[in-house]
Amino acid sequence: MTNDSDSDGGSRTGRGRGRGVGLAAVRGLALALVSLPGAVLCFVLSAVSIALIPIGIGIVTTPYVLTGVRMFANGRRVLAAEWGGVRIAPSYRPLPADANPWARTFGMLGDPATWRDLRWLPVDMTAGFVTALLPAALLLYPLEGLAIAVGLWRVLPDGYWYGFVRVTDQASALGAGALALVVLLFAHFFAARVLHGHFLLTRAVLGAPDRELAERVRVLTETRRDAVDTSAAELRRIERDLHDGAQARLVAVGMDLGTIEALLDKDPAKAKELIAQARRTSVEALSELRELVRGIHPPVLAERGLGDAVRALALRLPVATEVTVDLPGRAQAPVES
């Protein structure tokens, strides 16, 4: 029973490894056929577009070209995760959605991840192409040797070399077949690992260095702390404004209403005066609440952006103020707030 189960497990392992070799060969061949022309095209377009920046044409074309390079690199990241189990996290800096071509061009060129993509392209079209094609070559090359061993050598030119075996007769053809079996055995054990090595090479070039990731974590931690501190300060300001303004006036209205209730029968004239005062106080409280809401998120900020919101705020100052705004575009809503 034990021997049967062991043999069944071994046969399943062998079949699984055989399927893995074939799958690695097919995937590697497809990857090689796509990576070489894709990497060459992306590299040439990037070099030409960046070279045209001084005359202005590159300002328009570079964002589109680099976006294409990022899509090509992200596609390889997806394949690395799905086919090789190698995760390569993208680390591109965000750009404003409505940034102008100038800001997008130099924003992307100032991103270290962009230059990692560009450095990866020559690697992918050389070493990457070889490591992607090698699993298929390891699986297909032995077929030639086996064909030579069974008689193909008879139609080959005299002195044909298969690997390091010179085929001249049936004996040397059998030697070529033996070499083919060795290569096939090597492919059986290492084809999938070679493809995995391709993705490890990709991660080594495309992946962000540890120090850069640590710096990004530090910056994100600081900005998050600043955002939390800003939110806490804003909440304290709102609480103070409510306590000192609208809340105090509403308390006064409540007290006036209590006094009015007591004076309504005894002194109607005084009660009428207090009613008018309570009305004025309620109007002032409502006005302060509106001002408070506008201060939280002014309508002009939502409609016209940060620049016009600052200009509108300057118009309300008691002294003459001139505002100059130079922004590449609208920032994200949390940043504007």
Whether residue 157 sits in one domain with residue 74: yes
At residue 103, what are phi and psi to the nearest 5 degrees? Answer: -65, -40
Q: How distant, in Å, are the alpha carbons of 111, 138, 139, 212 from that of 217? A: 16, 43, 44, 9
Beta bridge partners of 166: 161
Whether residue 141 sits in one domain with residue 23: yes
Considering the domain boundaries, does residue 150 fall inside one?
yes
- Secondary structure (H, E, C), the chain: CHHHHHHHHHHHHHHHHHHHHHHHHHHHHHHHHHHHHHHHHHHHHHHHHHHCHHHCHHHHHHHHHHHHHHHHHHHHHHHHHHHHCCCCCCCCCCCCCCCCHHHHHHHHHCCHHHHHHHHHHHHHHHHHHHHHHHHHHHHHHHHHHHHHHCCHHHHCCCCEEECCEEECCHHHHHHHHHHHHHHHHHHHHHHHHHHHHHHHHHHHHHCCCHHHHHHHHHHHHHHHHHHHHHHHHHHHHHHHHHHHHHHHHHHHHHHHHHHHHHHCCCCHHHHHHHHHHHHHHHHHHHHHHHHHHHHHCCHHHHHHCHHHHHHHHHHCCCCCCCCCCCCCCCCCHHHHC
- 155-159, 243-247, 329-333, range with greatest mean pLDDT: 155-159
Cα angle: 84, vertex 89, 94; to 5 degrees:
150
Name the token pair of 287. 């006005």
Residue 194 is which amino acid?
A: V
Whether residue 146 sits in one domain with residue 243: no
Considering the domain boundaries, does residue 213 fall inside one?
no
Crossing angle for the helix pair 268-296 and 210-241, to the nearest 10 degrees: 170
Whether residue 265 sits in one domain with residue 148: no
Q: What is the CA radius of gyration of the chain?
A: 37
> Considering the chain, what percentage of its residues have pLDDT values greater than 90?
20
What is the tens place of the pLDDT at every residue in 56-80?
899 999 999 999 999 999 999 999 9
Considering the domain boundaries, does residue 235 fall inside one?
yes
What is the tens place of the pLDDT at every residue in 233-250?
767 777 776 666 666 767
* Placement of tokens 């260095």 in the chain: 209
Considering the domain boundaries, does residue 73 fall inside one?
yes
Considering the domain boundaries, does residue 94 fall inside one?
yes
Average pLDDT of span 24-35: 88
Whether residue 86 sits in one domain with residue 60: yes
- Of 208, 235, 269, the last residue of a domain is 208
C-beta of residue 95 within 8 angstroms of C-beta of residue 104:
yes
- Of 208, 235, 267, the last residue of a domain is 208
Whether residue 244 sits in one domain with residue 184: no
What is the tens place of the pLDDT at every residue in 209-223?
765 556 566 667 766
| Number of compact structural domains in the chain | 3
Considering the domain boundaries, does residue 291 fall inside one?
yes
pLDDT score at 149 = 82
Considering the domain boundaries, does residue 238 fall inside one?
yes
pLDDT score at 281 = 76
Whether residue 126 sits in one domain with residue 235: no
Average pLDDT of span 288-306: 68
Whether residue 148 sits in one domain with residue 12: yes
Whether residue 289 sits in one domain with residue 315: no
Q: Which of 198, 218, 214 is nearest to 206 (CA)?
A: 198
Residue 154 is which amino acid?
A: R
Whether residue 261 sits in one domain with residue 174: no
Q: Is the dihedral of CA 45, 46, 48, 52 positive or negative?
A: positive
- CA dist., res. 287 & res. 241, Å (int): 12
Considering the domain boundaries, does residue 301 fall inside one?
no
Whether residue 273 sits in one domain with residue 249: yes
The residue range of the domain holding 334 is 306-337
pLDDT score at 10 = 43
pLDDT score of 54 more than 80: yes
pLDDT score at 294 = 63
Average pLDDT of span 271-288: 76
pLDDT score at 5 = 43
Whether residue 29 sits in one domain with residue 132: yes
Q: Which of 312, 310, 302 is nearest to 327 (CA)?
A: 310
pLDDT score of 3 more than 70: no
